[in-house]
Amino acid sequence: EPEVTQTPSHQVTQMGQEVILRCVPISNHLYFYWYRQILGQKVEFLVSFYNNEISEKSEIFDDQFSVERPDGSNFTLKIRSTKLEDSAMYFCASSENRLGGHSPLHFGNGTRLTVT
């Protein structure tokens, strides 16, 4: 069964550094998402992306964050200058269609980002 893959599985970085988290969504999917989960807390929506532009973003997704689909297969999340509070699991997801109830999200297994 096709799956969403994320790399790296664990990233350690120093405060203030830039990080890029990478994802390969399922090949025929058109909608892409990033979510995050701080340890012990809920899974939170960050951003959705379609047709090479952001469809929706949450209040968490400020100017320090950006997303890009640099080629036909990868989808990336960049954090420009990491803060300690950015430490979390970051999940990429994709869906075949616009989520109108009939298009479930498929999640990757996440990248654990640790900011020291």
Please say which residue, 6 or 82, places its beta carbon nearer to other proteins.
6
Secondary structure (3-state) at 105 = coil
Taking the least distance from each CB to other proteins, the nearer of 17 and 97 is 97
Least separation in angstroms between residue 14's CB and other proteins is 25
The CB-of-99 to other proteins minimum distance in angstroms stands at 4
As measured in angstroms, the least distance from the Cβ of 32 to other proteins is: 9
Cα dihedral value 95, 110, 45, 75, nearest 10: -60
Residues forming the site for other proteins (CB under 8 A) = 4, 31, 33, 35, 42-45, 48, 50, 55-56, 58, 91, 93, 95, 98-102, 104-110
Q: Is the CB of 72 or the CB of 100 nearer to other proteins?
A: 100
Question: How many degrees, rounded to 5, is the angle at CA 18 between CA 13 and CA 19?
Answer: 65
Omega of the bond prior to 70 within 30 degrees of 0, cis?
Answer: no
**Phi-psi region for residue 72, left (φ > 0), alpha (ψ -120 to 50) or beta?**
alpha
